[in-house]
Amino acid sequence: MIEVKNLVKRYGNHCAVDHLSFTVEDGQVFGLLGPNGAGKSTTMNIMTGYLAATEGDVLIQGHNILEEPEAARKCVGYLPEIPPLYPDMTVLEYLRFCAELKKLPAERRKEDLDEVLSLTHLNGQAERLIRNLSKGYRQRVGLAQAILGFPPIIILDEPTVGLDPKQVVEIRSLIRHLAKEHTVLLSSHILSEIRAMCDHVLILRKGKVMACDTPEALEEKLSAGGALELSVRGSAEAVRSTVLTVDGITSCEAQQEGDTVKMMISADGDAREALFYAFAQARQPILEMRPKTATLEEVFLDLTDEDDAVAAQAAALLADTPDEAAVQTTDAEQEGTGDESDL
């Protein structure tokens, strides 16, 4: 279990981490998500004891990282943003060195090394010099170093950055495998990655927590209530007049595309059945009908928007009830898209 309490890190006047608090329960895969410069790496560096916080505490399995550094660090395997490798060593030499550095018991060292090598698919590369390895292999050696000795907590800073799609899939499946027996904390600025792997997401913006929940709950909170997206064959006017015969429709935007009409309909309560019968009666076939939900991506874009007002509005939505949120989401979306070009 990791407890982060009221963490502050200042570099001069710049506040990289601003009163950050969260708890990672045992067995969770916890994701730190944020655009570049949100304070993810700084937070991780503080959690592993590489940096000291200006204020606040980090407890790793109950050990304070500054007061009992050795006990706390023994529970943590850390892969920093840039894998800390010595280019003049072979993979095996390097991992042996790490095992000794981590004070793993000598009699278990060989088994641990073998297991880590096979988990990270490095068996064939064990005798190669790290200098000659490609970026993907180096990342794996870094990962092997982090999971060596199988510490209860594994902290990975952007573990899949710079890897090709196949390697990304491999590393993700490895992380999922590790998550069965370990607590994993990972950071990323790639949303699909966090969604694919994490049980719990913390969204950071300028060193502050914007949201902290499960990915599903975040989407749910922002899901757009009764809004529906429809594609119907026919002309816009005819379709619109059909919609207006249904009770409880609050708004309807229609757009002609070829011989079909795309519509956004908001209604009080569930209007799907009524719409189905209305269109069936008017002999206008429904090609597609689906409830509109805000994706995690949209939540993320709003929450981490450069514009403070947009971000604050998005954060307020999460605190609101889902129904009220629904109406406002659309405004926030229109203002807040397209700023994060690296996504």
Per-residue DSSP letter, 320 = S
For residue 39, state whether it binds another protein (rule: CB under 8 A): no
Q: Does 49 bind another protein (CB under 8 A)?
A: yes
Contact flag: residue 187 with another protein (CB under 8 A): no
Any idea which residue has 């922002």 for tokens? 222
Q: Which stretches within 133-207 are classed as H helix? A: 135-147, 165-179, 191-197
Show Cβ contacts of residue 153 under 8 Å, excluding neighbours closer than 6 positions.
2, 24, 60, 61, 75, 76, 77, 182, 183, 184, 185
Which of 20-28, 94-102, 114-122, 333-341 is the region at the interface with another protein (rule: CB under 8 A)?
A: 94-102
- Select 89 or 289, whichever has its Cβ closest to another protein: 89
**Among 27, 69, 136, 322, interactor with another protein by CB under 8 A:** 69
Q: What count of other Cβ atoms lies within 10 Å of the Cβ of residue 326?
A: 21
301 binds another protein (CB under 8 A): no
Within 13 Å of residue 102, how many CA atoms lie on the same side as its CB?
A: 26
Instruction: Single out the residue of 64, 10, 39 nearest to residue 208, CA to CA.
Output: 39
Least distance from another protein to the Cβ atom of residue 74, Å: 5
According to the binding rule CB under 8 A, does residue 102 interact with another protein?
yes
In angstroms, how far is the first alpha carbon of the chain from the final one?
31
147 binds another protein (CB under 8 A): no
Identified binder of another protein from the candidate list 8, 89, 119, 209, rule CB under 8 A: 89
Q: Residue 185 or residue 267: which is nearer to another protein going by CB? A: 185
What's the token pair of residue 254? 């229609």
Buried/exposed code over 153-172 (b: 16+ C-beta within 10 A; e: otherwise): bbbbbbbbbebeeebbebbb
Stretch that binds another protein, among 67-75, 159-167, 185-193, 306-314 (CB under 8 A): 67-75
Q: At its nearest, how many Å lie between another protein and the CB of residue 143?
A: 13
323 touching another protein, by CB under 8 A = no
Ranges within 126-145 binding another protein (CB under 8 A) = 145
Q: In what order do the strands lie in the sheet with 286-291?
A: 249-257, 260-267, 228-233, 286-291
Sign of CA dihedral 117, 123, 127, 131: negative
- Return the range that interacts with another protein (CB under 8 A); candidates 95-103, 223-231, 245-253, 259-267: 95-103
Binding residue for another protein, selected from 26, 55, 67, 100, defined by CB under 8 A: 100
Chain residues binding another protein by CB under 8 A are: 45, 48-52, 69-71, 73-74, 76, 78, 80, 82, 84-89, 93, 97-98, 100-103, 145
